[in-house]
Amino acid sequence: MLNRIIILLFFAGLAAGFGSVERADAAPRPFQRSQQNESRDIFADFGVGYLYGNTTYRIDVNDPPSGQALSSELRFPLETFLYTIDGGYIVKDRQGRDQVIFSLRFQGNMGSSSGKLQDSDWLNDAADIIAVGAVNPGKDIFSESAVDLTARIADVRLAYLFRPADHVGVGPFVGYQYRFFDYTVSNLSQVGYGPYAAGYTGSISGKVLTYEVTYTIPYVGGQADMRVSGKIRLFADAGYSPIAVAKDRDDHVLRAKLGKGIARGQAYFATAGILWDLSDSDSIRLSGSYSGIWTRGLQTQYWYASMPNEPPAGTEMTGIADRINSQQASAEILISHRF
């Protein structure tokens, strides 16, 4: 539903722009299609890329009366091809150079994803003794499972460019980013270490859990670009958010346990690339980017059915320390057209 809404908005924006913009002959982009007094442009980009990284959550559970403590970390892979639809509206200065840029971008994954969910558990000595009757230093249980990923990323941005020189542009921007990742996890393979080996090593076929996480990121940043020849331009930008929010939902199907978390923190990103003008209106853009999201909050767990060796249905645990983090790198190639 999200991707349909954003695509409809995207093409509606283009249609509105076509109704209000009178096309003039173009001269070389991006800084000038000069001497025509053209005041605005509409642009559309289409391309493909690859996303590599992970989204991870870690919980720490403590029971002071018994002295038991448990830490659990689930690292979900982000390894998938993406398609990109990017478009927007540009207002020019009196010299016909880009000055105010409004852009809307949408990305979604193509085909199946790669990588495996990695789930690690650490129990303290008191919990070790209760669970297996002996202390085990270090990691106690580790598992890997296959994943099926759905990824949706949307970004809206408003930027302003100053011109300290005719071939250089610098300026600030503000924006809002939405990242949504939805996983279906299956076919678990687990190993227990030390005294956990006998009772916690094995495999399970079929669905193990479902997981979804949503990152919402209002941000500010700065950008720069420089024309290095008649057809080649270099560009870079960096952004930061001190108010990033992460919300996740983890349904451990085999345990009938639902975990919901909300965490707040910070996010940052950087992008760099090169643009090659093919004609007055068309160009190819190659770029790479990196982003990090770091948040802390609380998780609530709820058992919605009775299962062997689990708390009774209706049991709820609150106030569980939760960290939801993500690191992502991507590369993409886009074809751009100005109308």
10-residue mean pLDDT series, the chain (339 residues): 43 40 36 49 96 97 94 97 96 88 97 90 96 95 97 98 88 98 97 96 96 98 93 97 98 96 98 95 96 98 95 96 98 95
List Cβ neighbours of 19 (8 Å cut-off, separation of 6 or more): none
Return phi, psi of residue 161, to 5°: -115, 130
Per-residue pLDDT at 9: 41
CB neighbours (10 Å) of residue 68? Answer: 18
Q: What is the pLDDT of residues 127-152, one digit of tens each?
A: 999 999 999 999 999 999 999 999 99
Per-residue pLDDT at 207: 96
Per-residue pLDDT at 266: 98
Domain 2-338 has CATH 2.40.128.90: yes
Q: Can you read off the two tokens belonging to residue 112?
A: 């199946």
On whether the CB atoms of residues 183 and 149 are closer than 8 A, the answer is yes
Q: What is the pTM of this model?
A: 0.87
State the Cα angle at 81 between 246 and 274, rounded to 5°: 95
State the Cα angle at 97 between 91 and 98, rounded to 5°: 45
Per-residue pLDDT at 7: 43
- Reported as type and span, the H/E element at residue 70 is strand 68-92
Q: What is the pLDDT of residues 76-97, one digit of tens each?
A: 999 999 999 999 999 988 888 8
